Structure 1
Amino acid sequence: MMRIVLSVIGIVLALTLVRIGYVVTRASGTLSHPEYTDNAACTPVEIAPGTEDVTFDPVSGLAFVSAAERRSGEMHPRNGIYAFDPQNPDSVRLVSIDAPADFRPHGISLWRGEDDAGQSIGRLFVISHPYTGHQVLIYDVADDGALSHLETVSHDALRSPNDIVGVGPTQFYASNDVYFGDTPMGYLEAFLGLPLGSISYYDGQDGRIAADGFAYANGVNVSADGSELYGAGFIGRTLHVFDRDPATGDLTRTARHPVPLGLDNIEVGSDGALYIAGNVNVFDFLAHQKDPTSHAPSQAVRVDPATGDWTTVFADSGEAIDSTSVATRVGDQLLLGAVFDSHVLVCPYSAAP
């Protein structure tokens, strides 16, 4: 009997090691070697440490940047939301002037629509990670880009928020990258590529899980008409597509598109395509996390959400920007941010609209 038990344990351990080897090899990007694009015409715009997310407001003509210093794990005085005109790199300014002292911004999303009185309004949704727990801060956005804090939201389904997309004045979806967090079970979740990440929905009053099945859920966004939602699986290297019911917030998964990149934030272009930056090589990224002088390669892709077809729109050795986390298309430009770098890289982009 003991021999059978030991044999079963041995088989389970062997299968576990095989699974870990497969997940690590696939997720690490050791087999990915993107051809670098010509980035000589790109211009770095200095912001603040950790330009993790960038989104564009067509009303004000400003790009909003979520910046937080992440290497130390401590609060940093320059953490905040910044704005600048992509046509004027010298216009950078801090716009989250009434943010709390423990502000650690992460994913952001801009929503514009109408209030109950039919007046045009703008909202900026910001994930923050203070020591007291995860939050979403909702800001009013003036036509000149000025921010005013309106509300702070926390709910039980906001477990480990990474990215966010606003779909109403106070309604939003947020990705929960992992289930177990920074625990031994969390490491097992990551190394085994367990699909325990999820997307939560807040309807303005209550929060709930709207979708699950992600191997490290990351970027999230919606189509221009709000009928579809897109979610990125970082470890799974998969783009998930959902039909969305605007009335209830319910999501129905319709497609999984493999994309050979550790997918991070998702931005929707005026052409309806998705612009997604991500991690090329996890090991290089971890080395860069420890040592700023150690570069990590960058890549961003344009994805057709209907077919999953993708093309590289930016790739770099890490000299111009390290391991991009977001690629935002603004007309004939791409704005690229990163988890640790302190600049946004502004590059010309000549694809057909």
Structure 2
Amino acid sequence: MARLLIPVMIVLCGMTWRLYELLDFGRTVYNHRPGACRLVPGIDKGSEDVDLVREEGIAFVTSGVVFMQPHRAHVKGKIFLYDFNQKLGGGAPKAKELPIKGASFDQNNFHPHGLTHWIVNGVIRLYVINHSNDFKHSVEHKKSIKSPLFVRPNDLVAVGPDQFLLNNDGVAQTELGNVIEILTFYRGGSVVLWDGKEAHTVLSGMGGPNGAAFDAKNNKIFISEVNKRKVNVYDISKDKKTLTQVSSFDLYTVCDNLSMDNDGSVYCGCHPKINEAAVALNDCDGVSTSASQVLHMRFGEDFKTIAVSEPYANDGKELSGSSIAVVHNNQILIGSVCRGLLHCTIDDPSVL
């Protein structure tokens, strides 16, 4: 019996330590900014994803996500437009709520999550992940796109006209099921290609694939894997149906959504203390807060090396639960899962 007890105790101690590390107990976040920061007025129910249209100097923002939280079904889903070309002066930065038209569109069941765009003949086409009040999933475009392979979509990235890669960050459809997935290290995540007509699974067995970004110049896909605290780099095949891993990097933090910069680097909004995030993201309308962090990742020419810097970090008092960061025109927008949208100026590009 004693001989059996010792290995059991070793395994339990190992699992306990891994869980302690996973939840970031004992980690300290030190506040710093790239410049002056102000919350964007009118956005207080989340700015979970921000998609930059660099050619126009504008960004679209999703607000009001309900992710396995039926008690928040009353929150109205919205899409905002932020113009990086606006003159700020001493006033607050402004975002405009966009009207959503369509007689057949059910706005009461609209809770936008990730979004992406593709420009066709000068027209910006948006693709927006939507969760209904009863947690059914679709991608809203000119029409609602649905597939049994859209299991638990979190983020997506356009890779062509009417083509996108979509990340399912797991399989559970309830908060409890999601916790069990995380604690058991179950790899139920997948990446799905929508080719314009149907969906195809291109990656499976992943540990919480979340954010995605596409580098069209170098034909690379970047995917953050939250349960592994990694960012992965892939080559994408011509038909978009095959992703071949090039590299994988440990970030030692939970990175949410990704955005591409015009120099080929990648920004990410992260959750540096997941124990705080687990509480705060289930208390969106309460007082709980969680730390925020922005990482900037620069890759070597072969995408097998990485240099990482931290342009922004906060203990959660200024911005709680950061999920995305987008940089343009010496400005940075930092979104959050269910709170505000933070605008910061970049006083010196070297801080990036």
Match of 2:96 in 1: 92
1:21 aligns with 2:16: yes
**Quick one: which of 173, 186, 204 aligns to 1:212?**
204
Secondary structure of residue in 2 paired with 1:175: strand
**Quick one: which of 156, 161, 164 aligns to 2:148?**
156
Match of 2:331 in 1: 333
Preserved contact between residue 113 and residue 131 of structure 2 (Cα < 8 Å): yes
Structure 1 runs not aligned, ≥5 long: 139-149
TM alignment of 1:22-171, pairs within 5 A? 22-38=17-33, 41-46=36-41, 47-68=43-64, 70=66, 73-76=71-74, 78-88=76-86, 89-98=93-102, 99-101=105-107, 102-112=109-119, 114=120, 119-130=121-132, 131=134, 133-138=136-141, 150-171=142-163
Partners in 2 of 1:250 and 1:155 — Cα distance?
A: 19
Match of 1:241 in 2: 233
Structure 2 runs not aligned, ≥5 long: 87-92
Match of 1:143 in 2: none
Matched-pair identity in %: 23
Preserved contact between residue 220 and residue 235 of structure 2 (Cα < 8 Å): yes
Match of 1:146 in 2: none
Partners in 2 of 1:124 and 1:328 — Cα distance?
A: 17
The alpha-carbon deviation at position 48 of structure 1 amounts to 4.2
Match of 2:89 in 1: none
Secondary structure of residue in 2 paired with 1:246: coil
Partner AA of 1:280 in structure 2 = P
Preserved contact between residue 302 and residue 312 of structure 1 (Cα < 8 Å): yes
The alpha-carbon deviation at position 185 of structure 1 amounts to 5.7
Preserved contact between residue 258 and residue 308 of structure 1 (Cα < 8 Å): no
The alpha-carbon deviation at position 41 of structure 1 amounts to 0.8
Distance 1:247 1:20, change over 3 A: same
How high is the TM-score relative to the length of structure 2?
0.85
Preserved contact between residue 131 and residue 138 of structure 2 (Cα < 8 Å): yes
TM alignment of 1:196-275, pairs within 5 A? 196-225=188-217, 227-275=219-267
Partner AA of 1:207 in structure 2 = A
Match of 1:177 in 2: 169
Deviations 1:116-157 (A, max 9, x none): xxx33322111011126210111xxxxxxxxxxx12111122
**Quick one: which of 289, 294, 305 aligns to 2:288?**
294
Partners in 1 of 2:178 and 2:97 — Cα distance?
A: 37
How high is the TM-score relative to the length of structure 1?
0.85
Distance 1:43 1:153, change over 3 A: same
The CA RMSD measured in Å over matched residues stands at 2.6
Deviations 1:44-74 (A, max 9, x none): 1022401111111124332210001546634
Equivalenced residue count is 331
Distance 1:248 1:283, change over 3 A: closer
Preserved contact between residue 52 and residue 65 of structure 1 (Cα < 8 Å): yes
Preserved contact between residue 23 and residue 192 of structure 1 (Cα < 8 Å): no
Partners in 2 of 1:75 and 1:183 — Cα distance?
A: 14
102-111 or 279-288, which moves further after superposition? 279-288
